[in-house]
Amino acid sequence: MTATDLIKFCDPARPHIAQPFTIGEYTYATNGRVAVRVPKIEEVPENPKAPKTIPRLVENAAAFNGETFPMPLLPPPDLETCKHCEGFGRFNTCPQCDGSGDVECNLGHYHKCELCDGDGIRADIGGTNQCEYCDGLGKVEKHTRINLGACSFSGVYLRPLAQLPGAIAICPNYTNPAAVTFDGGHAIIMPMR
């Protein structure tokens, strides 16, 4: 597992978890629903803003002894339009505010740019920046329910874990995160209500 392999478990929209981070002997990646832990990857730095609860959550899950479930073969993903890029897959700098997110009115104050809603970027099929949520495809996997023992998980979060070599899940109940072990690491995944 490399730092690049861990990126798919990060959340590009949240700066404190947009990249993998190292704490002590381990390197972690999380998107808030899934967290993955592997032995420390030297080039991944510590991040003082990273969530401090993750090591304990993964440690507890890794130590849990329960019924194990081999990862199921997931059905092909059901796709829907990516909300972040509206299906365009790419972004460009907003032409109205030049990327600043605000525009000056006749009276000299600054107001939120209405064209981009203050984001400074606009979905644009010919844009220069690829959407990080859909990797530029314009479509993302829909949340579908996958049952394992007493738990259900969204296929969106389970799929990348199910693809890890030797992945096996331990599901304590439907409220706590389930543990996933794989060749070379541990992970947790929050169940779907």
Q: Does 79 bind Zn ion (CB under 5 A)?
A: no
> What part of residues 154-193 is at the interface with Zn ion (CB under 5 A)?
none
| Separation between Cα atoms, residue 35 and residue 54, nearest integer Å | 7
Do you know the residue count of the chain? 193
Nearer to Zn ion, 94 or 189 (CB): 94
Q: Does 97 bind Zn ion (CB under 5 A)?
A: yes
Q: Residue 89 CB, nearest distance to Zn ion (Å)?
A: 6
Q: Does 85 bind Zn ion (CB under 5 A)?
A: yes
Stretch touching Zn ion by CB under 5 A, among 23-31, 51-59, 102-110, 148-156: 102-110
> Site for Zn ion (CB under 5 A): which residue of 44, 71, 134, 169?
134
Q: Does 121 bind Zn ion (CB under 5 A)?
A: no
Instruction: Please name the residues in contact with 117: beta carbons below 8 A apart, sequence gap of 6 or more.
Output: none
Q: Tokens standing for 161? A: 């874990």
> Site for Zn ion (CB under 5 A): which residue of 4, 105, 183, 193?
105
CB 40 within 8 A of CB 1: no
Q: Does 94 bind Zn ion (CB under 5 A)?
A: yes
| Separation between Cα atoms, residue 85 and residue 74, nearest integer Å | 26
Nearer to Zn ion, 73 or 107 (CB): 107
- Which residue ranges make up the site for Zn ion (CB under 5 A)? 82, 84-85, 94, 96-97, 105, 107, 109, 113, 115-116, 131, 133-134
